Structure 1
């Protein structure tokens, strides 16, 4: 019994306060720093799985711009404080995207819509928002063969559109299905940018922005974009729309104007002229007028 009591006393003594302490484990410890987040700085290159005008939570990893990457940061900013991050189709997101639009033009030396490029826009993810992050990210990706998916590249895009720079969108080669007897595609799968001295069947003539309003149904959207791009093609060739209508060798082709693109505030279509795959071009036909295709 005595041995047992002594053992119990020894155990209880081990739970006492060490010499020189007050027994309060909470005092004397510095407070943890407030959670914070800083987006990658302008000029940072990133590897990421992105697609044009699609919200994404895919991780962004910074790499040296000399290494293969898909996105380059062209600017940052902050959205207003709120209980949660702004939705893709919200006014705060559209306002932030408009700021990104300006940042991209300044960084590239021209409007990204005239280049083989598309914007990458990110607002803070929920976890980052809860940690206090309010910064949005403006990025630019070089477009691959559908103008909406990224092309892995090396080097910077900065200044790539200045003075008809190397990233300008000029001529493209289509690929698709259902070739008709005249050599025109019934359905297009890919739009591959090429130099105009390479064989091609399509040439970029300019971008068109649809009027603001509700997103049109597909038939109305097709009518609006086709009519607008038809006019741009006539102007590009230096002829009237009536003269263009009288030609059976030049068609209208356009891309863009997706629902998510419209929702973020961008209502732009890329307008192209298209010729038969049987008569590929090897130069620009700007100001061709009423002459035959070369």
Structure 2
């Protein structure tokens, strides 16, 4: 009896041992064939549609990256994040400002920012810049560029950056205080334009924003003959804005102020030139949009 009991006990232990070494349902015994490979570490890519408390910087360092909610005070907003193309990506350092790679990026930022704010961003008190990764981030594989937009206090007088507490998304889709309108140009002692502060169009003023001329890929104007081309093209913008004939008499109906961005912006690829009609010493108290020949008569003196 004891042997039988012992035999049964040993047999039970053996059965338990075999059960412990068995494979559960659905397990094939291969330890590695279903493991997913560990992904390669990827570089940080900043998101779009976020705001930043500091002023725009051409190089975006991760150490200073501290986005804030756009309802809190900020000076810069990222409208779009793009990726440099293959040729630029092969470089050992981020593209320099004014390089062909930056001009390609700027063109993408120009279009994406205009879509973001609801119209050509040059129609408002806005400025756009391209920010690139730091050299260390580039070495680590970062190939993005940031399209940053900021409100400025006055595009005509190189005004400073404004602090905002609201997003710029669709800000130009409807009439907005950011839209460029009318101005009271003031001349210096030599008759040249000194300042042109904004003015309500129903108040006395002598200048008005008419639109944007998209210049071809030409040199930044430095000589009178360069500026003459800019003024000629801006007069056409003014003529269409005021609904007057684009003929030889246009130059006798209105003066013109042609404002491209600075030389650095031009080198980056900004070819948009803001065009303003200018009545010099005359003042009006209405907008001259679609004013026709009565609103912009030929000035014989």
Range of TM-score over shorter length:
0.7 to 0.9
1:46 to 34, 49, 52: 52
Alignment of 1:85-164 (within 5 A): 85-147=94-156, 148=158, 149-164=160-175
Alpha-carbon separation, structure 2, partners of 1:199 and 1:216: 31
The CA RMSD over aligned residues, in Å, is 2.8
Q: CA deviation at 1:179?
A: 6.5
Deviation track 1:221-243 (CA, whole Å, cap 9, x = no partner) reads: 31111111122222222222433
Which of 1 and 2 has greater Rg?
2
TM-score norm. by structure 1 comes to: 0.73
Alpha-carbon separation, structure 1, partners of 2:75 and 2:186: 23
Alpha-carbon separation, structure 1, partners of 2:83 and 2:181: 35
TM-score norm. by structure 2 comes to: 0.72
Alpha-carbon separation, structure 2, partners of 1:179 and 1:281: 23
1:36 to 25, 32, 43: 43
Q: CA deviation at 1:154?
A: 2.0
Aligned residues: 249
1:287 to 287, 290, 294: 290
Aligned to 1:261: 265
From the superposition, tell whether residues 205 and 292 of structure 1 become closer, same or farther in structure 2 (CA, over 3 Å): closer
- Give the ranges of 4+ consecutive aligned residues of structure 1 lying more than 6 Å apart after TM superposition: none
Are 1:177 and 2:188 matched, yes or no? yes
Aligned to 1:273: 277
Unaligned runs of 5+ in 2: 1-39
Deviation track 1:201-231 (CA, whole Å, cap 9, x = no partner) reads: 3111110122224445433331111111122
Are 1:238 and 2:243 matched, yes or no? yes
Alpha-carbon separation, structure 2, partners of 1:146 and 1:229: 17
- Is residue 75–residue 103 contact of structure 1 (8 Å, CA) maintained in 2? yes
- Is residue 59–residue 134 contact of structure 2 (8 Å, CA) maintained in 1? no
Aligned to 1:4: none
Q: CA deviation at 1:155?
A: 0.8
Structure having the larger proportion of residues in helix? 2
Unaligned runs of 5+ in 1: 1-32, 181-185
Bigger shift: 64-73 or 208-217?
Answer: 208-217
